[in-house]
Amino acid sequence: MSDHDAQSARIDSILTEDRVFEPPADFAAAAHVGSLDAYRAEHARSLADPEGYWGEAAQALEWFTPWTRVLEGGFPEPRWFPGARTNLCHNAVDRHVAAGHGEEVALIWEGEPAAAGTDGGPEVRRLTYAGLQRETAQLASALQRLGVHKGSVVTIYMGMVPELAIAVLACARLGAVHSVIFGGFAAHAIADRVDDADSRIVLTCDGAWRRGHVVPLKATVDEATTMTDRIERVVVLRRCANAVDMKPGRDLWWDDVVATGDPHFPCAPMESEDLLFLLYTSGSTGKPKGIRHTTGGYMVHTNLTARLVFDLRPDAGHVFWCTADVGWVTGHSYVLYGVLTNRVPTLMYEGAPNAPAEDRLWAIVARHRVTHFYTAPTAIRAFRKWGDEHPKAHDLSSLRVLGTVGEPINPDAWIWYRDVIGGGRCPVVDTWWQTETGGHMITPLPGATPTVPGSCTLPFFGVDAAIVNERGEELPHGTGGLLAIRRPWPGMLRGIHGDHGRFLTTYFKRIPGMYFAGDGARRDARGYFWIMGRVDDVINVAGHRLGTMEVESALVSHPAVVEAAVVGMPHELKGQGIAAFVTLKRGFDPSPALRAQLVQHVAHEIGAIAKPDVVRFTDALPKTRSGKIMRRLLRDVAAGQETTQDTTTLEDFSVLARLRAGDEE
Ligand code: WTA
């Protein structure tokens, strides 16, 4: 077969991929939920009696004071488990120590440098529950001495090291609110988030290893301190022996700080609705929003979904590995809280998947006998491109369940994942959820749900998901519409920090009485959900959410730029890439050098993840008569398609014609 024939055959197989994969019988026989009937019965019960259902789910955790009710009120501001007190760190750590599991491994960590360990292999650290208890207590107590108290916001800007997990849990222990910022974001992003959250303290590292290089995190924090006056304290962990400037009176070394801490510092009793964390995520406007998550409901939701969606249990030899950075919600819920509250060891890997070589992740799976592997479609597409020889060189027989999250997965990548990584024997769970939902919302259960590649299948227990129109009317199966959630769930966001109005308009005003997710979707004849992607101005680049307006603001802050419009475009590996259309000020001429400068400028303003893949210079942007940029047209242009949109409102047809002709320089 020629390359071309092979490719057409592959495309045919994608288009005709409608196989259904039943859960393996032996897996189903031992699973928490072992059949579709069992799922359906439990789902019906959870909707018929949500308080009964979630009240029972909450019994899996420890509470210092019981709730007076399971659920009070409804959208937009339900209160879950009002009256109850608990602590997430207690449930993730101390509870297991008290029950006699203190010497069991809670966290396995592997560093990036391949030959830095004592045995000539990579550095590996294993922390037990007792160790985590000591370390979180010491750090929590030390933070308190630095003036951090219940409700203070602690900014965490660190690499994927065990101390990042310790920092997050120490905040929970103390009742401080963590605001983790992904280490790939730039100084402006830190300063904006610090200001928005009114955070006075930043925890960081001298650097982070990434593909053999040191990412200078502390230097980026230093830059951020020139953009905001709020940062009074910076605590710096030594990780890379990277030289850093330490400002006297402001900057402290982690070890010195922790040395002052009390290793017996207790977990603070927190009200169920006390704020647990802020996590900033992109929306339709230029400014990222601080999603507010509270304690009790989030704990119950992440604990239950981790257990049922991955079929986790303690004492079963499970090792759970979610490859997400703790800087994203997936890392919060399924590197840390959901997994640790189930007393299953969680694995953290510090570096890049191709450092030092493209088999690194499979070496880790084999070395630590990983049983559960959870990653993003964009990563799966990269693994596949790198070649089957890499996974095939390692023993992956420990794997039991594979998961994906973050973007729609193309069926051929799904099949590859199942066959090549899962050896054809592991159920694949395609989990749909969001920063705002806290935990999984629509997902297969591995022992119960027959899977169809590309579909996230059916709603989790207690989740009332529907495809509706703008009036909230449910649409018939097969029809595309808006994905809405019709009743509150425990892990849901409790607001946007400092912007109640935006919270209401973004999520609750578009469809009356429902939570609007921002995604378009449809259901098929079996009732399975298929996510079609964002219907707002958010793009999903390599599984990371970015607002087109954020990138536009970064571009127009460059002295050469008058106006910019940013849209998503199809990208083979990243799912979506970023296309920027830019008009220049008088005196600036389009050139490859300027294009490179603009890309660098965006990386400097936001972070490398926001770098446009394509920058096109244009004399003018296509606008409606009322002056709105016609993004749909630009999306078509970026995708290289002939536009089928109605263009009668175009102010200047020649603009579109020129863009299409690609005569941008
Ligand atoms: C998208 C990540 C298709 C979706 C946990 C959502 C998905 C956004 C899936 C949230 C999936 C997430 N299939 N699309 N399984 N999971 N998405 O907040 O567009 O970073 O709205 O949360 O990712 O991204 P976020």
Report which ligand 1 atom has the smallest distance to the Cα of 431. Answer: 15
Calculate how far, in angstroms, residue 372's C-alpha sits from the geometric centre of ligand 1: 20
Ligand 1 atom with minimal separation from the 517 CA = 21
pLDDT of residue 7: 47
Which pLDDT score, from 0 to 100, does residue 284 have?
Answer: 80
Atom of ligand 1 nearest to the CA of 330: 5
Query: 202: which residues sit within 8 A by CB, 6+ positions away?
Result: 155, 156, 157, 190, 194, 221, 224, 231, 233, 234, 235
Strands 614-617 and 575-584: parallel
Ligand 1 binding site (Cβ under 6 Å of any ligand atom): 281, 328-330, 405-408, 430-435, 456, 517-519, 531, 534, 540, 545
Residue whose CB lies within 8 A of the most ligand 1 atoms, among 279, 407, 535, 548, for a mutation test: 407
Query: Which protein residue has the closest C-alpha to ligand 1 atom 5?
Result: 434
- 432: tokens are 């749909």
Q: How far is CA 350 from the centre of its chain?
A: 17
Q: Which pLDDT score, from 0 to 100, does residue 494 have?
A: 98
The CA-atom distances, in angstroms, between 466 and each of 458, 472, 537 are: 10, 9, 22
> Is 67:78 a contact under the CB 8 Å cutoff?
no
pLDDT of residue 382: 96
Residue 407 Cα to ligand 1 midpoint, Å, equals 5
What pLDDT is stored for residue 2 in this prediction?
Answer: 45
CA of 377 to the centre of ligand 1 (A): 11
User: 201 CA distance to ligand 1 centroid (A)?
Assistant: 30
- Residue nearest ligand 1's atom 6 by CA: 434
The identity of residue 329, as a single letter, is V
> By the 8 A CB rule, do 491 and 294 touch?
no
Neighbours of 661 (CB within 10 A): 9
Cα-only R_g, the chain: 25
Closest-lying ligand 1 atom to the alpha carbon of residue 281 = 18
Residue type, 366: A
Predicted local distance difference test score (pLDDT) of residue 652: 62
pLDDT of residue 663: 47
**pLDDT (0 to 100) of residue 649:** 54
Instruction: Please give the number of the atom of ligand 1 that sits closest to the Cα of 533.
Output: 19
**According to the model, what pLDDT value does residue 632 have?**
85
pLDDT of residue 1: 40
Dihedral sign for Cα atoms in the order 80, 83, 84, 85: positive
Residue 644's pLDDT is what?
A: 56
Residue-level pLDDT at 627: 81
Closest ligand 1 atom to the C-alpha of 328? 20
SS3 245: coil
**Which distant-in-sequence residues (6+ apart) come within 8 Å of 502 by Cβ?**
283, 285, 289, 496
Ranges of the chain with pLDDT below 50: 1-14, 663-665
Q: Tell how far the Cα of 403 is from the centroid of ligand 1, in angstroms.
A: 13
pLDDT in tens, 185-215: 999 999 999 999 999 999 999 999 999 999 9
CA of 265 to the centre of ligand 1 (A): 37
CA 628 to chain CA centroid, Å, is 31
Distance 82 CA to ligand 1 centre (A): 29
- C-alpha pair distances (Å), 551 with each of 183, 214, 282, 436, 461: 18, 26, 11, 21, 37
Ligand 1, atom 7, residue with closest C-alpha = 407
What CA–CA distance (Å, rounded) separates 569 from 613?
9
Report the phi/psi class of residue 210: left, alpha or beta, with left for phi > 0 and alpha for psi in -120 to 50. beta
Q: How far is residue 76's CA from residue 532's CA, in Å, rounded to a whole number?
A: 25
